[in-house]
Chains A and B, each alone.
Chain A
Amino acid sequence: MSRELSTVLDHIEKISELDLDGVAPTSHVVELENVLRPDEPRPSWPRDRVLAEAPDAAGGGFRVPTPGR
């Protein structure tokens, strides 16, 4: 895969030839102002339904192996 990734990166690097000084970056195409909703509690998904999709649930949570060795 390293050869393929190098080919792609070589192509991408063509943008280094462009003069982009003073050009503002675009992260989002529509100019929107962020609006926060009122911080009021709302019901969330029932725990049992969420855990029903989990590969391994125990004690009302997601069970995972120990992070350590």
Chain B
Amino acid sequence: MTDALLSLSASEAVEQLRAGDISAAELFELYAGRIEKFDGELGSFLWKAGDPPEARRDTPLAGVPLAVKDLFCTEGVPTTAGSRILEGHRPLYTATAVRRLLAAGASMLGKTNMDEFAMGSSNENSGYRPVHNPWDSERVPGGSSGGSAAAVAAGLAPWAIGTDTGGSIRQPAALCGIVGLKPTYGAVSRYGMVAFASSLDQCGPLTRNVTDAALLLRHLVGRDPCDSTSLGLPEDVTLPSRTDLKGIRFGVPRELGPEAEGIESGVADVFNGTLDLIAELGGEVDEVTLPHAPHGISAYYVIAPAEASSNLARYDGVRYGHRAGNGTLLDLYERTRAEGFGTEVKRRIMLGTFALSAGYYEAYYGRAQRVRTKIADDFREAFGRCDFIVTPTSPTVAFKLGERTGDPLAMYMSDYCTVPMPLAGIPAISIPAGLSEGLPVGFQIAGPAFSENRMLDTAYALEQRIGFDTTRAFVQ
């Protein structure tokens, strides 16, 4: 019975809960028990809920447990954003995204580990502990939503939410062999999400399959008076059902495609194999060009740190969070931030303040904003010739813990294929497409703004054809 329960995808569990075949309490106990037993080694949770939910059969999500990245404020529940500076912090309110899912009947299973303030691609920047990849415990799960991805891939949660600023949902989903979706900027409210780079940050699902991603997205999206940049989606999210790709045009950008510099040959092989499957399903594959996409990393590592340096100014030891220092006020600020922030966060604050400083502002921030315009223009032009753009999600499979920690630029390049989309504000999904060296490889599908329904339908058709088993790395 346990195995049968565990093998249910979230949407299947919803059906069975609503039919009364299983109970929300037994589902919660199953996952809570697995977290208790296995997460000591995996490290994917920073906080675990204690009590099973009340039966909520009549709600759309019927009580299915949900893992929540620790970047989301949750009232009365510790919220650290993976940082020591927020250790023990209990917010006064719950993020809109979480509030919506709880109102739709999800039950919170726990808060997941992450790179500090979502800055990282390996989860090694967590202020608490690293997360291990369930496929190989010596490897990273990706980041920054590494805890959410590892928990779903290991079968410690049916599904999870994370956030994506430059690839933080899609890259860990790819490295852990699950589905990760970054919606169009503005589809989901950012209210109560600890801010990293406000013009890029977006919340989305990490799930075992595309149908679960659609179901979770359906209950996440919506305009929110508390986030003036939120828009919702122009139509309701539908559950995907498409089985062929007839008439759909896929563009492979030469700059981010299998031939691009830094793409591992095993990753390129899986990518090319997936293009063959697209053709078998009736889709058309053509080359397109995104000439400015290779500059995405440069633009991103100016814009995101610049916004972060401003957003993180609030952690000053005065109103909440960690406080250190007992001399003057300046001493308090300095010691609080020196003790509370980790190395990568300090690095980005320095990069950001430098890029915004008088004399350098135009050369760095101003130019990066113009590159951003060019990247968005490139996508617009490419979408005139194709319906979706496809790339490998990550240039490499999951790398070893410690392998890139001494080389920030090598770490940043993990997001080479995922950074251009948030710069343009467009949605993208990563689905597992196969294995290289026994490790999962993600296939990324990006569409125009607000094309989520068509993108999910397309990803679903491809997912059925690929037939990747996302329960294979479940810990036993």
Q: Which residues of A contact B (CB under 8 A)?
A: 1, 4-5, 7-9, 11-16, 18, 20, 23-30, 32, 34-35, 37, 45, 49-50, 53-56, 62, 64-69
Contacts and interface: CB of A to CB of B under 8 A. Distances in A.
Nearest to B422: A29
Given A23-B374, A29-B185, A65 B332 contact: yes
B298 A12 contact: yes
Contacts of A49: 92
B332 A64 contact: yes
Given A32-B229, A45-B92, A53-B89, A12 B347 contact: no
Contact of A15 (B322, B331, B371, B376): B371
List of 6 A-B pairs having minimum Cβ-Cβ separation, nearest first: A29-B425, A25-B369, A55-B323, A53-B320, A20-B370, A26-B372
B408 interface: yes
Contacts of A55: 317-318, 320-323
B-side interface size class? 35 or more
B373 interface: yes
A30 B366 contact: no
Contacts of B27: none
Given A8-B412, A28-B199, A30-B231, A53 B373 contact: no
Contacts of B299: 15
A15 B369 CA distance: 11
Contacts of B89: 53
Nearest to B300: A12
Interface string B158-175: 000000000000000000
17 contacts: A4-B408, A7-B408, A12-B301, A20-B370, A20-B374, A26-B369, A26-B372, A29-B185, A29-B423, A29-B449, A37-B225, A50-B319, A54-B319, A64-B318, A64-B329, A64-B332, A68-B328
A16 B298 CA distance: 10
A37 B449 CA distance: 27
A29 B199 contact: yes
Nearest to B200: A29
Contacts of B371: 15, 18, 20
Contacts of A11: 297-298, 301, 409
Contacts of B372: 25-26
